[in-house]
Amino acid sequence: MSYTMEVVVSKPPAVAAILTMLGPDVRGGESLARGHWPEAVVHLYRAGQSTRGIAIERKGTALLVKMVACTNRADWDLAFTVLEALGATPVEGDDGTTAALVDIRAAFAEIMARELSASIVTMHSIIKQRKELQLTGAVREVYLGPRMLREIGQDPEAMLERIRRIQYIEDEGFEFVTYSSLSTMMHLTVDLGFSLWNPKRSQAFGATTHLALSSAKTLHVPLKALR
């Protein structure tokens, strides 16, 4: 469930110039080396808007812009903006679609809609079979399960919006709580850890097995007991 657009450049693009054209809200550029685009996969996303971001891979004179499942319209717009900033033409998709640089948004509009729809349908199918699915988002992991599907229904945009909100949950006033693993600290062979829950704060939790309740007396509650 991915789609790749490729261009051939006469020389590696200047990193600083490309990032300036993309704007200050694009993240991931800090992983780029100064000077020319590295021969490695670079992930970029637009803060507050992207669901999963985009991946750019350089192979010699070719640059491949890859869209994965559940990238939203903001991600596709970022991909088009990157290609426009590169200034190379034509742009070729992995399904054979080819377009001049000035026409890429129109030429790939139907493909964008197709890929968005197909990825959502596939997500629903996988979740029904496996009960839970894990996606790597632009900022953090997303865990999709039957309960979420019941809440958002069949609307593709609703699923993409849920994924987007999870990436930037702090913007809605929540404190994101990560899982604290004790296994490494205590040199254990079994997974042991918890997430600290403070009922007095608005919190959102990453994947966890136990919640430790912050109170006068600390309580450790199995996550299953709260369902």
CATH number at residue 51: 3.60.90
Q: How many domains does the chain have?
A: 2
Nearest-CA neighbor of 117 among 58, 166, 157? 157
pLDDT in tens, 38-63: 778 899 999 999 999 999 998 888 99
| 52 within a domain of the structure (yes/no) | yes
| 158 within a domain of the structure (yes/no) | no
Task: Give the pLDDT of residue 208.
Answer: 73
Q: For tokens 């350089």, what's the residue?
A: 58
Q: Which residues form the domain of 64?
A: 2-112
Whether residues 8 and 106 share a domain: the answer is yes
Whether residues 33 and 105 share a domain: the answer is yes
Task: Give the pLDDT of residue 4.
Answer: 96
Whether residues 105 and 205 share a domain: the answer is no
| 150 within a domain of the structure (yes/no) | no
Listed residues 90, 112, 134: the one ending a domain: 112
Segments in the chain below pLDDT 70: 31, 33-36, 179-192, 194, 215-227
| 135 within a domain of the structure (yes/no) | no
| 162 within a domain of the structure (yes/no) | no
Task: Give the pLDDT of residue 150.
Answer: 84
Listed residues 112, 136, 163: the one ending a domain: 112
- Longest pairwise C-alpha distance within the chain: 66
| 136 within a domain of the structure (yes/no) | no
Residue 197 near residue 211, CB atoms below 8 Å:
yes
Whether residues 183 and 102 share a domain: the answer is no
| 118 within a domain of the structure (yes/no) | no
Peptide bond into 24 cis (omega under 30): no
Q: Are strands 54-59 and 210-213 parallel, antiparallel or unpaired?
A: unpaired
Task: Give the pLDDT of residue 13.
Answer: 82
> What does the DSSP assignment read for the chain?
-EEEEEEE-SSPPBHHHHHHHH-TTEESGGGSPSSBPPSSEEEEEETTT-SS-EEEEEETTEEEEEEETT--HHHHHHHHHHHHHHT---EEETTS-EE-GGGHHHHTHHHHHHHHHHHHHHHHHHHHHHS-EEEE-SSSEEEE-HHHHHHHTT-HHHHHHHHHHHHTGGGGTPEEE--EE-HHHHT-SS--EEEEE-TTS-EEE-S-SEEEE-SSS-EEEEGGGG-
Task: Give the whole-angstrom CA distance, residue 100 versus residue 7.
Answer: 10
Task: Give the pLDDT of residue 220.
Answer: 63
Whether residues 195 and 102 share a domain: the answer is no
| 119 within a domain of the structure (yes/no) | no
Nearest-CA neighbor of 83 among 5, 24, 14, 27? 5
Listed residues 112, 139, 155: the one ending a domain: 112
Whether residues 6 and 108 share a domain: the answer is yes
- Tally Cβ neighbours within 10 Å of residue 65: 23
Whether residues 108 and 180 share a domain: the answer is no
